[in-house]
Amino acid sequence: MSFQFSKWKILPAGVLLLGTVAVGQDASSTGSSTQGTTTTAPAPKPTIAQRKENQQDRIANGVQSGQLTAGETSKLETKEAAINGETRADRAANGGKLTAAEKQQVNKQQNQLSKQIYNDKHNANTAQYGNSKVGQRQENQQDRIAQGIKSGQLTAGETAKLENQQKGINQQVKADRAANGGKLTTGEKKQVNKEQNAASKNIYNKKHNANTQQPKK
């Protein structure tokens, strides 16, 4: 009887010991996994130049998708141009670099612009040009502008001016259609094409001049 008692008393102790070893292995495995995660270096914060390029890419995508109208794009690029101008002035005053306070200020301004880009891309306003020849021409001009933004051939200031020009043409087309039951007369189509020819040359010239969007770190 005493032998059986000892056997049943020892057995749970052995099971308990094995369980402890298993738990220890899980903990070790989990610990190594956690340790591997903690040793992973955090992603570095984007530089001023990277943020600037990212904002321009987002605007270009919005122009190409029609989420941003010419008027919205013009306002966004005007703000981007102002930030860029301020950054250049600060660099010039500090031997080509930005102070910590200046970097903080630029990031704050880019945060505000980022929110505006998001809001403008997700509001009810969209650029709908239709399948007419005039509409196709309007869309083609926007695609060329978007490509220029992405490639860096167009600066923010140049883009703002081009989009302001497109905004004027679009408003004229809209007003003419409203006055003629949704259509354009032959004379109005001729006038719009003339204005788009001038805008087309303007786009080409600004994409092929010496001004490029070359962001610095």
pTM of the model: 0.77
**∠ Cα 152 156 157 (to 5°):** 125
pLDDT, one tens digit per residue, over 7-66 is 444 445 444 444 444 444 444 444 444 455 566 767 777 899 999 999 999 999 999 999
Residue with tokens 């190409």: 64
Q: Alpha-carbon torsion 120, 159, 162, 131, what sign?
A: negative
Q: Alpha-carbon torsion 152, 147, 106, 164, what sign?
A: positive
Query: Which residues does the chain have with pLDDT short of 50?
Result: 1-3, 5-11, 13-34, 216-217
Predicted confidence at residue 212, as pLDDT, reads 87
Predicted confidence at residue 46, as pLDDT, reads 83
Predicted confidence at residue 20, as pLDDT, reads 46
Predicted confidence at residue 29, as pLDDT, reads 41
